Chains A and B, each alone.
Chain A
């Protein structure tokens, strides 16, 4: 532990400062939303009963002074990148570049054990930091947003999904190990930092983009959910105001025809337009069952797939275990590289 603290003191101080700044920003941001949150609760609106659009929706809209949490989410999403680039990448690269590996790798502890122990020590330092940040942002800070406007503050959204107290440390560890691996390959500190930043940034972006597809895994399909608009295709929205099981994430919608087969996009759009017109021209607003009756009459079925609320942590675990497994491979790869590294 002391070796890691001594050798990486500058990086660790930087992390500590970044941690303090983020915590202060979260506390200040949470304080700013507290008044609005209290007013909202005073109006009788809670997360458990967010369906009263007329009261709670209007009340929520009146809070124009609620600051956006997006900058903080972006900052927290950058945290793994910073750790990977500025802690992981220099770990081996700096030793190789400066030649100090000739000292470090000939000590009694041995190069493999030294690498593994140093990585473990750094992981022990950055993981709690990431857990605390994830908990503060994803749990404590976002909660009022989720209550005031469930569609905005849902933890299913990709930004919040990847910054929970579980995913933040997972991606931080992944980036730390990936940076170390890249450093061992590149053997130049600045180049390793740049390469790690690009790779980790690319992976995090890709995860954000492909998360909707991941949410399709293990999704439940239902023909009883009736959505405004009855559109087909990707939905990627929280089941708010009674449209779907409370707290669930709506993934995708589609139509099936009389034969039970999936309708083509063109046909589905035609049906969708017609169903929508039922809402509008035939008093659908007062008769929400009109579209359902029309669909049943013509043997069409509207399907919606969704992730139930209780799937959230299962998906978190699955999506988090994959990078952890890959990180383990990076560790093995780094060990192999330094074992066969020639001076």
Chain B
């Protein structure tokens, strides 16, 4: 079952396309990192998935074909929006009451247990909680709904490193305990590898790369060699990005199968950081979705 599927998805705000031609299928059981630069369309894609945004073109479904934002989807998909918008003027306890009344299957005991573990007082007004505590509260409220899919929009933004760690620890623990699928968007690429096992890379409103992180890393290498051979070598591989420094050239290249590399060229494993940055620096490959697009695009160059 795919937890999110989109076909030709596009969202336009007053003529400006925030999202365009997004075709996607995210299988269940993963922690999916949604990465992209500012304005890449991450939030819009997530809002489409939770029913907050209405597609201008195409369609999006969740949890095996349920219309995003439909009553069934709302029961099974929990969403934590960017900056964890909660009612700041009421207490944590009152917020729990609100959540109980807005959801059929809200597990108040679970939420209270999580909040107790995190030392978040129930009688405190939400506006007086720290940013990390508000994020934890929003997460606890979402998890207490016992969703099949948890969608988090920039859950780590504005959090200090310790709070980031704690938030992601809660997410990891919930995934281990409940077996739910998670999609979260983030700018903090360095922490993705530790948490996520599936990656969606977006750029300029389009999906640029999708896949299991291990597969993506295995299928890409950093090639370094003499600059005077760069042109010849570039024709042998699907080059994502090239950098020249003096007599040395460095390629980020995609390889479909184990292969021999040219003499005098060194192939090194690529980190997730390098892979993401390489794609983000090459918006020209964003016209087609998925890593396969790289070879197709490059072949046409």
Binding site for B on A (CB under 8 A): 2-3, 6-7, 9-10, 98-110, 114, 340, 342-343
Contacts and interface: CB of A to CB of B under 8 A. Distances in A.
Given A100-B85, A101-B85, 12 more contacts: A2-B101, A3-B97, A7-B90, A10-B89, A102-B85, A103-B138, A106-B52, A108-B102, A108-B105, A109-B102, A342-B52, A343-B44
Interface in B136-186: 138, 145
Given A3-B98, A343-B52, A107 B103 contact: yes
Pick the 3 closest A-B CB pairs, nearest first. A102-B81, A107-B102, A108-B103
B104 interface: yes
A342 B53 contact: yes
Contacts of B145: 107-108
B254 interface: no
Interface in B50-93: 50-54, 71, 74-75, 77-79, 81-83, 85-90
B75 A108 contact: yes
B67 to A, nearest CB: 12
A31 B229 CA distance: 104
Interface of B: 11, 13, 43-44, 47, 50-54, 71, 74-75, 77-79, 81-83, 85-90, 94, 97-99, 101-106, 138, 145
B50 A106 contact: yes
A103 B85 contact: yes
A304 to B, nearest CB: 58
Contact of A109 (B90, B94, B103): B103
Contacts of A102: 52, 79, 81-82, 85
Contacts of B94: 6
B102 A99 contact: no
10 contacts: A6-B90, A6-B94, A7-B87, A103-B81, A103-B86, A103-B138, A106-B52, A106-B79, A108-B105, A343-B53
A6 B97 CA distance: 9
Nearest to B71: A110
Contacts of A104: 102
Contacts of B90: 6-7, 9
B147 to A, nearest CB: 10
A104 B74 CA distance: 11
Contacts of A105: 51-52
A14 to B, nearest CB: 14
B98 A7 contact: yes
B102 A342 contact: no
Contacts of A107: 74, 99, 102-103, 145
A7 B91 CA distance: 11
Nearest to B145: A108
Contacts of B97: 2-3, 6
B173 to A, nearest CB: 22
A100 B102 contact: no
Given A7-B87, A99-B83, A99-B85, A106 B98 contact: no
Contacts of B101: 2-3, 109
A192 to B, nearest CB: 18
A125 to B, nearest CB: 16
A95 to B, nearest CB: 9
B128 to A, nearest CB: 16
Among B85, B88, B90, B104, max chain A CB count under 10 A is at B85
A293 to B, nearest CB: 76
Contacts of B13: 342
A61 B104 CA distance: 66
Contacts of B44: 343
B103 to A, nearest CB: 4
A3 B99 CA distance: 9
Contacts of B83: 99
Max count, chain B CB within 10 A of own CB: residue among A101, A104, A114, A342: A342
A55 B102 CA distance: 66
A100 B104 contact: no
Contacts of B103: 107-109
A100 B36 CA distance: 25
Contacts of B78: 106
B249 to A, nearest CB: 44
A206 B192 CA distance: 62
B76 to A, nearest CB: 9
B21 to A, nearest CB: 18
Contacts of B51: 105-106
Contacts of B47: 343
A110 B87 contact: no
A340 B87 CA distance: 23
A108 B138 CA distance: 15
B50, B75, B87 pick with most chain A CB within 10 angstroms: B87
A88 to B, nearest CB: 18
Contacts of A110: 71, 74
B79 to A, nearest CB: 4
B52 A114 contact: no
Contacts of A100: 85-87
A4 to B, nearest CB: 9
B92 to A, nearest CB: 12
B104 A108 contact: yes
B90 to A, nearest CB: 6
A343 B88 CA distance: 20
Contacts of A101: 85
A103 B82 CA distance: 10
A101 B75 CA distance: 17
Contacts of A114: 102
A169 to B, nearest CB: 26
Most buried by B among A7, A10, A108: A108
A108 B77 CA distance: 8
